[in-house]
C-alpha cells in the first residue's frame, strides 16, 4: 500500500510490483511521484504528488514525453482524453515498453548460443620480399622475390551441438521476455490510475474554488451588513472587525485554492504529455455514484486471476528456476563442431578447394569455485523471486480489501458530509437572520460561516476520496485500463 498525506489527511492507494527486465521493482499507485505540488493550509484533499513510495528504479509515472505543440484557445480535456494521452506519452509506460525491447534483445543473444554461427570471408594477398633486408644473400639467387599472391574464399561454421546450460539460459530469457510484456500491461493500469488520480484531484480543486468563492461572497455580504450597522450605531466596531477578518480569511482560502488548482493542472499535464503552455479545462465531472457492494473474497480471487504484475512475477520465478538449472548444467559435458571450406589459389582460375572439420567434447574437471558460486547465486535469486511472488500475492489481497473498506468508508463520509453542508447552511441562515433582526451580534454568523466552509471542504474531500477509492479498486482488480469508466462513474 502507498500512503498519501496532505495536511493531516491520510489516503492509501493500492500498489503492486512492476517487473522490469529480470528485476522486480515496486510500482505504486502513482509511481515516483515524489515532487511536491499544491498544498494549502485549509485543504483537506490529499495530493497525489505528496506520496511516499518505495524506490521505483526510475519508473517515472509522474513524467511524460511531450511531442505535441500547444494550440490556440482552451483545449477541452475529458477523462478519457487524458488517459489516452497518458497511455501514449507517459514516461513510465514508455520506459516499460522500451524495457521489453531490451529484454527481447537479451533473449535473442541467448538464442544465438544455440544456433550455428556461419561466417564467410574473401582474402586477396599480394606480397614481395626483400631477402637482402632479411640478411639473406645467396649467390645466383634473386634478392627480390615477387610480387606473388593468392586468393582465398572461405566459409566457416561453428555450432555448439550439445550445451544444456545454454539451452536453459535461453529458456530463462524467454520467461524474462514474457514477464516484461506482462509488465507493459501492468504499466498501462498504472498510467490509468496515475492520470485518473490527477484528473480527479483537479476536479476536487475546482470544487474547492467554487466553494471558497461562495464563502467569499457570503462573507462580503456579512461585512457590508456589519459596516452598515456600525455606521448606523446599532452594532459595535467589534462586529465590523470580526466580519472583516472573516472576509479576508475567506479571500486567503480562495487564493490558496486557486494556486492548488493551477499547480495540480500542471502536474496533470506532465503526466499525460501535454505542453505546459497549452491552456485546457476539464470537460468531465465525477459525480457521486455509489458502487454496488463488492464481496471481498470474490474480488480477491478475480484480482489473483487478472493482475498482470502477479503474472509477470510468476514468469520471473520460472526464469529463476531455469537459471538455477542452467547453473547446475554447467557441470555437464558440451559437444561442439567447427569447420570451414573454401577455395584457395593464385587466383580464382588457378585454385583448389580446401577445408577442415573438427568436433570437440569438453568436460569440466575442476572448476568448483566458479560452478559452486554460480549455483549459489542462482539459488539465492530463485528464493528472492519466490518470496516476492508470495508477498505480491498477499499484497494484492490487501489492496483489494483495503480499497473495498475505503469505498465503504468514503460512501458514509459523503452521506454525512452532505448532511453537514445542509445543516451548516441552515445554521448560517438562522444566524444571519438573528443578526439582521438585532437579536444577537455577528459572532454566531462568523462561527456559522466557518462551519459552512469546513463542511463544504469535507464534502469535496469525501467525494474525491470515494472516486479515487473506486479507481484504486479497479487497479487492485487489474481492470483499470478496461473498466475505469465503470468505477469512476459508478456501477
Q: How confident is the model at residue 489 (pLDDT cuts 50, 70, 90)?
A: low
Residues 6+ apart with CB under 8 A from 2: 12, 13, 14, 15, 28, 29, 30, 51, 52, 53
Distance, CA of 91 to CA of 88 (rounded, Å): 9
Q: Of 61, 54, 59, whose CA–CA distance to 83 is shortest?
A: 61
Coil, strand or helix at 338: strand
Residues 6+ apart with CB under 8 A from 426: none
* 61-109+167-328+368-488 matches 117-163+332-362 in fold: no
Question: How many other CB atoms are there within 10 angstroms of residue 355's CB atom?
Answer: 12
* Average per-residue pLDDT for the chain: 84
More confident residue, 290 or 206: 206
Cα–Cα distance measured from residue 269 to residue 202, given in angstroms and rounded to the nearest whole number = 11
User: Do 264 and 205 meet the contact criterion of CB atoms below 8 Å apart?
Assistant: yes
Q: Cell 476520496 identifies what position?
A: 465
- pLDDT value for 324: 95
- Integer angstrom CA distances of residue 11 from 4, 242, 449: 5, 35, 28
pLDDT at 232: 86
Contact in structure between 394 and 379 (CB atoms under 8 Å): no
Radius of gyration of the chain (CA): 36
Q: Report pLDDT digits (tens) over 78-97.
A: 999 999 999 999 999 999 99
* Residue 53: predicted pLDDT: 33
Domain boundaries, the chain: 61-109+167-328+368-488, 117-163+332-362
Going by pLDDT thresholds of 50, 70 and 90, the confidence category of residue 173 is very high
- CB-hemisphere CA count at 13 Å for 95? 21
Cis, bond preceding 147 (omega within 30 deg of 0): yes
**pLDDT confidence of residue 321:** 96
What confidence score (pLDDT) does residue 50 get? Answer: 35
Q: What percent of the chain has pLDDT over 90?
A: 60
pLDDT tens for 28-76 read: 333 333 333 333 333 344 433 333 333 333 358 989 999 889 899 999 9
Q: What is the pLDDT of residues 337-368, one digit of tens each?
A: 999 999 998 888 888 899 999 999 999 998 88
How confident is the model at residue 375, as a pLDDT? 93
| DSSP codes of every residue in 230-298 | HHHTSS-HHHHHHHHHHHHHHHHHHHHHHHHHHHHHHHHHHHHT--TT-EEEE-------PPPP--HHH
DSSP 8-state assignment for residue 139:
T
* pLDDT higher than threshold 50 for residue 336: yes
Q: Looking at residues 447-465, what average pLDDT do you find?
A: 90
C-alpha cell at 8: 493531516
Count Cβ atoms below 10 Å from residue 240 Cβ, excluding itself. Answer: 19
Task: Look at residue 97 and give its three-state secondary structure.
Answer: helix
Least confident of 114-123, 178-187, 441-450, 461-470: 441-450
Residue 26 pLDDT grade (very low, low, confident, very high; cuts 50, 70, 90): very low
List pLDDT tens digits, range 360-379: 999 999 888 999 999 999 99
Please give the grid coordinates belonging to residue 163. 550445451
Q: Is 61-109+167-328+368-488 in CATH node 1.20.1600.10?
A: yes
Q: Find the mean pLDDT for residues 397-406.
A: 94
pLDDT computed for residue 13 by the predictor: 41
pLDDT tens track for 238-247 = 988 999 999 9
| Mean pLDDT across 205-234 | 90
Which three cell numbers mark 212? 471558497
pLDDT digits (tens, 9 = 90+) for 152-165: 999 999 999 899 99
pLDDT digits (tens, 9 = 90+) for 270-304: 999 999 999 999 998 877 788 877 899 999 999 99
Q: Please state the rounded mean pLDDT for residues 102-128.
A: 92
pLDDT of residue 149: 86
pLDDT score, position 331? 92
CATH code: domain 117-163+332-362 is: 2.20.200
pLDDT band at 209 (very low <50, low <70, confident <90, very high): very high
Angle at 56 between CA 31 and CA 384, to 5 degrees: 130
What pLDDT score does 290 carry? 81
Phi, psi of 216 (to 5 degrees): -65, -45
Amino acid at each position: 500500500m502507498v500512503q498519501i498525506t496532505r495536511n493531516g489527511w491520510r489516503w492509501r492507494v493500492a500498489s503492486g510490483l512492476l517487473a522490469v527486465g529480470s528485476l522486480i521493482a515496486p510500482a505504486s499507485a502513482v509511481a515516483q511521484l515524489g515532487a511536491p505540488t499544491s498544498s494549502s493550509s485549509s485543504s483537506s484533499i490529499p495530493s497525489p504528488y505528496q506520496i511516499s513510495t518505495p524506490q521505483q528504479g526510475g519508473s517515472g509515472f509522474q513524467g511524460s514525453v511531450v511531442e505535441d505543440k500547444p494550440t490556440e484557445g482552451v483545449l477541452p480535456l475529458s477523462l478519457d482524453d487524458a488517459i489516452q494521452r497518458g497511455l501514449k506519452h507517459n514516461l513510465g509506460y514508455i520506459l516499460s515498453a522500451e524495457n521489453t525491447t531490451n529484454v527481447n534483445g537479451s533473449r535473442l543473444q541467448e538464442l544465438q548460443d544455440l544456433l550455428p554461427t556461419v561466417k564467410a570471408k574473401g582474402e586477396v594477398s599480394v606480397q614481395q620480399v626483400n631477402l637482402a633486408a632479411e640478411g639473406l644473400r645467396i649467390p645466383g639467387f634473386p634478392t627480390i622475390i615477387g610480387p606473388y599472391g593468392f586468393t582465398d574464399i572461405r566459409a566457416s561454421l561453428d555450432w555448439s551441438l550439445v550445451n544444456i546450460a545454454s539451452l536453459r539460459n535461453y529458456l530463462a530469457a524467454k520467461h524474462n521476455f514474457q514477464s516484461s510484456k506482462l509488465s507493459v500491461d501492468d504499466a498501462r493500469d498504472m498510467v490509468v490510475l496515475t492520470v485518473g488520480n490527477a484528473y480527479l484531484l483537479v476536479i476536487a480543486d475546482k470544487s474547492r474554488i467554487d466553494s471558497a468563492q461562495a464563502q467569499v461572497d457570503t462573507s462580503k455580504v456579512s461585512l457590508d451588513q456589519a459596516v452598515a450597522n456600525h455606521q448606523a450605531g446599532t452594532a459595535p466596531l467589534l462586529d465590523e472587525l470580526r466580519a472583516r477578518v472573516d472576509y479576508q480569511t475567506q479571500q486567503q482560502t480562495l487564493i490558496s485554492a486557486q494556486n492548488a488548482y493551477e499547480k495540480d493542472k500542471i502536474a496533470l499535464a506532465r503526466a499525460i504529455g501535454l505542453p505546459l503552455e497549452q491552456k485546457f479545462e476539464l470537460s468531465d465531472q465525477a459525480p457521486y455514484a455509489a458502487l454496488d457492494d463488492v464481496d471481498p473474497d470474490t474480488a480477491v480471487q478475480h484480482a489473483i486471476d487478472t493482475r498482470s504484475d502477479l503474472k509477470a512475477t510468476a514468469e520471473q520465478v520460472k526464469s529463476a528456476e531455469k537459471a538455477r538449472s542452467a547453473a547446475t548444467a554447467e557441470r555437464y559435458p558440451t559437444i561442439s563442431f567447427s569447420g570451414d571450406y573454401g577455395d584457395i589459389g593464385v587466383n580464382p582460375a588457378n585454385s583448389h578447394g580446401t577445408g577442415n572439420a573438427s568436433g570437440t567434447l569438453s568436460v569440466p574437471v575442476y572448476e568448483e569455485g566458479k560452478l559452486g558460486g554460480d549455483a549459489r547465486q542462482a539459488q539465492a535469486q530463485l528464493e528472492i523471486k519466490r518470496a516476492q511472488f508470495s508477498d505480491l500475492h498477499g499484497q494484492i489481497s490487501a489492496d483489494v480489501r483495503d480499497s473495498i473498506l475505503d469505498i465503504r468508508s468514503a460512501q458514509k463520509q459523503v452521506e454525512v458530509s452532505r448532511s453537514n453542508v445542509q445543516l451548516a447552511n441552515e445554521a448560517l441562515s438562522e444566524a444571519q437572520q438573528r443578526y439582521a433582526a438585532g437579536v444577537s451580534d455577528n459572532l454566531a454568523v462568523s462561527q456559522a460561516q466557518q462551519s459552512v466552509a469546513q463542511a463544504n471542504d469535507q464534502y469535496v474531500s469525501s467525494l474525491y476520496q470515494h472516486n479515487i477509492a473506486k479507481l484504486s479498486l479497479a487497479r487492485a482488480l487489474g481492470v483499470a485500463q478496461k473498466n475505469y469508466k465503470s468505477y469512476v462513474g459508478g456501477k
